[in-house]
Structure 1
Amino acid sequence: MSEDFQFAWMVYAVSTLIMLLAGWWFMRNWRWSWVRQTLLLVVAAVLLIPAKTSVAESVAVPVLPLFVYQTLFEDEGAAPEVITHLIFASGGALAIMLVWGFISLLLKFRRKRQRRFNEDPYFDEQ
């Protein structure tokens, strides 16, 4: 990979991280933090996961900009491998964060019930 391309990747990655930090900052007061984290992780995954095209000796390009470029400017539309990369990047990030969110909701519910039981020893929820 050439130095210019490495520099472009660094600029792209830093600007994407700055955008994600700004998104986190503006959504920091949301009630359910795992929803905010899910949105930010999915956006990060589709913006930062690289995809290689079927062209020989091509370089890795971020998957979402490549998908948009191919959809808009190429005759056949987006290549199947780019669409696959996009689906797996966003779907994988979403699945991980949904599992994390459900586990955190379950733990919060259990802590709330335990605290209620500690305050009232006669509490019996059936």
Structure 2
Amino acid sequence: AAAPAVPEQAPRPRQRTPARCRVCGRTLTDGGEMKLMRCEDCPSDMDEGLYERLRDWRGEQARRSGQPAFCVFTDKTLIAIAEAVPDDEHELARIPGVGMRKLRRYGSDVLALCAGRDPADGQDQD
């Protein structure tokens, strides 16, 4: 006789800790603030040059794919990337707005831009 089937235990939902501002520590509730991981009125340590390079790159990606720029990444996501300046895919994936699909599609380009290289050919930017 076959052993009785053991019912599969449903995975327990992960307890999420509240998002906190990385500058002042306040609990974040606004979606835009959670994407930036800081309060809107807390100071930004954004790399302005990187942000502009990311915006230019995003515009080109949107033009190539025939979709609006925000479908590539939103402004808030670009700001979050320019503030975090990730070194690798793990750091990039932790930024809200960078899911697995976008990481696979755009991750190498974004990381090249963060490292000061041109994503098209891997050359250093002047």
Compute the TM-score of the two structures, normalised by the length of structure 1.
Answer: 0.26
Q: Which has the higher helix share?
A: 1
Q: Kindly indicate whether structure 1 or structure 2 has the higher relative contact order, using CA contacts under 8 Å at least 6 residues apart.
A: 1
Bigger Rg, which one: 1
Compute the TM-score of the two structures, normalised by the length of structure 2.
Answer: 0.26
